[in-house]
Amino acid sequence: MAEQADTRAALEVAVVGGSIAGCAVAIELARAGCAVTLFERSGEELKDRGAGIGVPAAVIDTLIARDLVDGDIARFPAPAFLRISRTAEAPDYGRLAWAQPAVMLALNWGSLYRNLRRRVPDAVYRTRCQVTDVRNLDDRRPRVVLADGREHDFDLVVCADGYASLGRRLLFPRATMAYAGYVLWRGALAEAALDDPAPLERGIHALGYAGGHGIFYFVPGPDGGVARGRRLVNWGMYHPVPAAELTAFMTAADGTLHEGSLPPGAMPAATEAGLKALATRRLPRYYDAIVQRSQGTFAYAIYDCPVPGYRRGRVCLAGDAGAFARPHSGAGALKGMHDAIALGAAVAAAGQDGQALDAALAAWDTERTAENNRLVRFGQQLGHAFVDAIPDWSGMDAAAMAAWYESVVTIPSDYLRVRG
Ligand SMILES: Cc1cc2nc3c(=O)[nH]c(=O)nc-3n(C[C@H](O)[C@H](O)[C@H](O)COP(=O)(O)OP(=O)(O)OC[C@H]3O[C@@H](n4cnc5c(N)ncnc54)[C@H](O)[C@@H]3O)c2cc1C
C-alpha cells in the first residue's frame, strides 16, 4: 500500500467491511492517496466461503498487473463446462451432452482473500469494529457510528459490508433481496479421498437433473496446492426450496434461524441425509460418491438484488453490498474488486477538488449501477436456463445444447462461450 506522506491533506475515507471488496477498496483508495480506515466487525479469524471460485482468465491478469494479488497466486485453467446428465446407459459417469467452451481459472476463495488482506496494513484494518449507523448521508462529511458508541466523520464512506448490507438499507431502503426459489447446497472433498481423479480433469462438470444441476470442479487446496493429490473438489447442487419452506430449511440443528446461509456443521442431520439421498437419485455414481463422502456440507439461499444506485452523496456501496447477483453469474468476489478498481481511478482523477470528486463519484455510480445490475439479470437468465426450466439434456447433442443456450441466455458472458 502506498505511503501517505501527509494524511492531514488526504481525503479521509472509511471502509465498512474487510472481506474481498473492503480490502480491495482500502488498497485502491490508499494508493489513490486517501487516508483509509477500515472497520471490520469480526476478528482476524480465518474467513472462508467454502472453497472455489471461478475467475474469467483475463481478470486475473488485471489483478496481478495492479498488484492486488501475487503473480503466482494458486490457480489453474478450467477450459470448459462439461454439461452431463445421468442416463440408463451411463449410470457411472453420465453422458456428455456438451463441452461448452469457457475461459476460466479456478482459484481458492481463501487465498484470494489472504492476498488482499496482506496488502492492507494492520493499522488501517480495525477488527471488532461493528458499524451500526452511517449518518449525515447528504453532507460532505458523513458520520460512521460504531457499536461501542464511538463516532467519526469522513470525506467518503464506502460500505463493503456484504449481501445483508447496512449501507444498502440506509441508502436504498426499497432495494430488497428477492428469493429465487432455490438454494445451493455445497461441500468440498480432498482430492486424496477420490478413488480416481482423472474423470474430473477436463474443466467444470455441470450435472443436469430435473429442477437444477450440480457443479463439480477442482480448486487449489487450502495450502494453495495445485499439484495432483493436493487439490480440493469443490461441489454444489442447486435444489428447489419453496419460499414457504425456506425458514425451516435455514433453521440449524440447534434451532437457530440463519439468514442467507447455513454454515458448515449447522445443518440438521436429517436435512443433510435427505439431500444426500436426492443426490443418489440425481447424479451418476462417480459424482454421487463425492457428495456422500463430504462432511460438514453447507447451504445458502439464492437471491437477486438489483439496486437503483451505488452512491448517495459521499456514501458508496461496493461488492455484495451493492447489486447482488446469483452465483451462476460468475460475479461473486470479482464484482467487488472491479468496483474498487474503478473507484480508485475515479478518486485519483478527482484529486483534492471536492466538486471534481462529486462528479467522479456520480460517473462511477452510473457505470457500476449499469454493469452490476446487468450481472443480476445475467444470473437470472442462467438460473432460469439451468435451474427453474432446465430441459432434459439426455437426448441433446452439442448443436442442440448450443441452440438452446443461445435461445435462453442472451446477455454476453465474460467466461462462457457458445463456440470455441
Ligand atoms: C455462504 C457463502 C458461500 C459463498 N461461496 C462462494 C464461492 O465459493 N465462490 C464465490 O465466488 N463466491 C462465493 N460466495 C459469494 C462471495 O463470498 C462473495 O461474492 C464475496 O465474498 C463478496 O465479497 P464482499 O467483500 O462484497 O462481501 P463479504 O465477503 O460478504 O464481506 C462482507 C464483510 O463485511 C463485514 N461486515 C458486515 N457488516 C458489517 C458492519 N456492520 N460493520 C463492520 N463490518 C461488517 C463482514 O464481517 C464481512 O467481513 C459465497 C457467499 C456466501 C454467503
* Cell of residue 32, nine digits: 489513490
Residues 154/35, Cβ–Cβ less than 8 Å: no
Task: Tell me the pairing of strands 212-219 and 76-87.
Answer: unpaired
Question: Where are the domains positioned within the chain?
Answer: 12-43+127-176+306-380, 52-108+178-303+390-408
* Cell of residue 94, nine digits: 453420465
- Which residue has the CA at smallest separation from atom 45 of ligand 1? 17
Pocket probe for ligand 1: among 171, 320, 337, 341, the residue whose CB has the most ligand atoms within 8 Å is 320
Q: Of 377, 293, 281, 367, which is closest to residue 329 (Cα–Cα)?
A: 377
The listed CATH number (3.20.20.70, 3.30.9.60, 1.10.10.10, 3.40.50.970) that belongs to domain 52-108+178-303+390-408: 3.30.9.60
The listed CATH number (3.40.50.620, 3.40.50.720, 1.10.1040.10, 3.50.50.60) that belongs to domain 12-43+127-176+306-380: 3.50.50.60
pLDDT in tens, 269-298: 999 999 999 999 999 999 999 999 999 999
- Alpha-carbon gap, residue 40 to 116, rounded angstroms: 14
Pocket of ligand 1 (CB under 6 A): 16-22, 39-42, 49-50, 52-53, 109, 130-131, 160-163, 166, 260-261, 300, 319-321, 332-333, 336
| pLDDT for the residue 272 | 97
pLDDT in tens, 176-201: 999 999 999 999 999 999 999 999 98
- Alpha-carbon gap, residue 239 to 291, rounded angstroms: 14
- Which residue has the CA at smallest separation from atom 41 of ligand 1? 131
| pTM of the entire predicted model | 0.94
Strand runs (DSSP E) across 35-113, as ranges?
35-39, 52-56, 76-87, 90-108
Give backbone dihedrals phi and psi of 341, rounded to 5 degrees, phi first: -60, -45
| pLDDT for the residue 50 | 57
Closest ligand 1 atom to 161 CA: 34
Closest ligand 1 atom to 321 CA: 26
- Which residue has the CA at smallest separation from atom 28 of ligand 1? 162
CA 337 to ligand 1 center in whole angstroms: 12
- Which residue has the CA at smallest separation from atom 38 of ligand 1? 161
pLDDT less than 70: residues of the chain: 1-8, 45-51
| pLDDT for the residue 395 | 95
CB neighbours of residue 77 within 10 Å:
12
Closest ligand 1 atom to 22 CA: 25
* Cell of residue 170, nine digits: 440506509
| pLDDT for the residue 3 | 39
- Alpha-carbon gap, residue 299 to 249, rounded angstroms: 9
